[in-house]
Amino acid sequence: MEIALLGNPNTGKTSLFNHLTGSYEYVGNWSGVTIEKKVGVFKNKKANLVDLPGAYSLNPLSADEAVVTEYLLQDEFEKIVNIVDASQLRRNLLLTLQLIEYEKPVVIGLNMMDVATGYGKKIKIEALLNMLGCPVVAISARKGEGCTVLADAVTNHTNTSLLKVDYGKMIEQYICEMSSLVNQKTNLSARWLTLQLIEGNASVLKHLHSLAGKMEVDDFLKRIEAAANKIGKEAAQLVFEARRNVVEDILASAEIMEEMNKEVLT
């Protein structure tokens, strides 16, 4: 079984990789780039863990992010470990939502809890896992705390009730249309492909061109833009706003800010 380790840069991903794995299966570079690729064997021996470069978004703006998107488009793997910085939930959850949309089981390792506490933030783990629909395990990637629980959660868990962001009737209709366009041709989630396409993900556009034909896909995209323009928006803006609203709802339920520290942060 292959498991992908994904998260924003500087969230403790390398530290977590080292705690979760006991030995290497492979160390080299990602194909075509001089970015290190590491595959380790879980200490419980139940799976391999692939360390992916840190990424803020799946819409590749950097070589690191392009490696992540190409991996999601091309490689066979079973599950995702998403390391999330508890002190920067607002930013980190935007990536989490995109990983959940990919529709493979996701387990979250919630790191930097000490930093969050220092900022006066308390995270309600139960609320977070209820809203995201996937296991959330508090860890200290630096000290290795919680890593065994996380490894067991990842290797044993298969989640089926992941959060589904409602993007509104118009976009949801286009997601359905994409399903009929690609369902016979790929195992990738039509929902994820449509949303990444709308966001301008060039790797996904190229992939869809080869899957479903350039004319069909370009026309599909033009029709979505025209429909969004009718309501005075860009389609990518609609996607971003829907995700941002969900993140704000999650924060309202799962993050408590202690009064005395509010002034320091604003």
Measured distance CA(42)–CA(148) in Å, rounded? 10
User: Whole-number minimum distance, CB 136 to ligand BGO, in Å?
Assistant: 15
User: Whole-number minimum distance, CB 7 to ligand BGO, in Å?
Assistant: 6
User: Whole-number minimum distance, CB 93 to ligand BGO, in Å?
Assistant: 16
Q: What is the DSSP letter of 15?
A: H
Comparing CB distances to ligand BGO, the nearer of 15 and 92 is 15
User: Whole-number minimum distance, CB 84 to ligand BGO, in Å?
Assistant: 11
Residue from 109, 102, 63, 62 nearest 79 by CA: 102
Residue from 6, 12, 8, 260 nearest 146 by CA: 12
User: Whole-number minimum distance, CB 264 to ligand BGO, in Å?
Assistant: 17
Comparing CB distances to ligand BGO, the nearer of 7 and 60 is 7
Give SS3 for 218.
helix
Residue from 16, 65, 64, 73 nearest 42 by CA: 16
For 146, the enclosing helix (H) or strand (E) is: none
Q: How far is CA 210 from the centre of its chain?
A: 24
Comparing CB distances to ligand BGO, the nearer of 33 and 162 is 33
User: Whole-number minimum distance, CB 154 to ligand BGO, in Å?
Assistant: 17
Residue 222, classified by CB atoms within 10 Å of its CB into exposed (0-12), middle (13-18) or buried (19+), is: exposed
C-beta separation of 140 from 129 below 8 A: no
Comparing CB distances to ligand BGO, the nearer of 12 and 135 is 12
Give SS3 for 109.
strand
Measured distance CA(207)–CA(223) in Å, rounded? 19
Which chain residues interact with ligand BGO by CB under 6 A? 9-15, 54, 111-112, 114-115, 140-142
Comparing CB distances to ligand BGO, the nearer of 98 and 140 is 140
Comparing CB distances to ligand BGO, the nearer of 106 and 178 is 106
Residue 45, classified by CB atoms within 10 Å of its CB into exposed (0-12), middle (13-18) or buried (19+), is: exposed
Comparing CB distances to ligand BGO, the nearer of 4 and 190 is 4
Cα 186-92-263 angle, rounded to 5 deg:
160
User: Whole-number minimum distance, CB 117 to ligand BGO, in Å?
Assistant: 10
